[in-house]
A and B are shown apart, each in its own frame.
Chain A
Amino acid sequence: EAGVTQFPSHSVIEKGQTVTLRCDPISGHDNLYWYRRVMGKEIKFLLHFVKESKQDESGMPNNRFLAERTGGTYSTLKVQPAELEDSGVYFCASSQARTSGSYEQYFGPGTRLTVT
């Protein structure tokens, strides 16, 4: 079974540019999460999809961030325009439905975003 994949693995962009990150969850996982980790700090929740619906986007820092999950499969996270403070590692995770009783989230390898 393929794990969670993310693309690209690294992205270096200039302030003001746009970047789109992609996440492909494990097939059949309804829940998809985006997280961000800034160097040395905690992993911060950004948002949570259940299938194609945004269940919780309380962690999105501002309206420069836009996440979509069309069709309930892969998800994209767009940052436009990027600012210096957006630099960090963006993780995507997926999990089974709550009713499965599983609390495990499966993480992708992350996208390291550097804004210069």
Chain B
Amino acid sequence: GQSLEQPSEVTAVEGAIVQINCTYQTSGFYGLSWYQQHDGGAPTFLSYNALDGLEETGRFSSFLSRSDSYGYLLLQELQMKDSASYFCAVWAMDSNYQLIWGAGTKLIIKP
């Protein structure tokens, strides 16, 4: 089957750096996306990685290693507004261009 694993919850302090890991097992792979969802809100797109390496967008960066079937989302200079759930999702080749989603990581930020 196809599955994505990510921690259910991560706690960090305001101003710190946090890394949310995602490992995947899929029959094929186009790329890895990250989405952010605040409580009661819609998931919003953060990043997409198709190639190995680090992509940086402001305070957020996303990393992919295709050989390890692994990626992470790195959040720097954490702010209270970053408290949300973060989902990794894989575009899998054999799934007719659909996203396979992880269960989400709830990020709790303490002052």
Interface residues of A (CB under 8 A from B): 4, 33, 35, 40-45, 48, 55-56, 58-59, 91, 93, 98, 103-110
Hey, what's the 0/1 contact readout for B35-71 against A, CB within 8 Å counting as 1? Answer: 1000001111100100000000000000000000000
B103 near A48: Cβ-Cβ < 8 Å? no
Which applies to chain B's interface (DSSP): helix, strand, loop or mixed?
strand
Give the interface residue-count category, chain B.
20 to 34
Report the tally of A-B residue pairs with Cβ distances under 8 A. 58
> Does B79 touch A at the CB level, under 8 Å?
no
- Inter-chain CA distance A43–B43, complex, in Å, is 10
User: From residue B48, how far is it (CB to closest CB) to chain A in Å?
Assistant: 5
B97 near A105: Cβ-Cβ < 8 Å? no
Determine the chain B residues whose CB is within 8 A of the CB of A55 once the complex forms: 96-97
- Inter-chain CA distance A64–B4, complex, in Å, is 28
- Inter-chain CA distance A44–B95, complex, in Å, is 13
Among A43, A98, A103, A109, point to the contact of B101 (Cβ < 8 A). A43
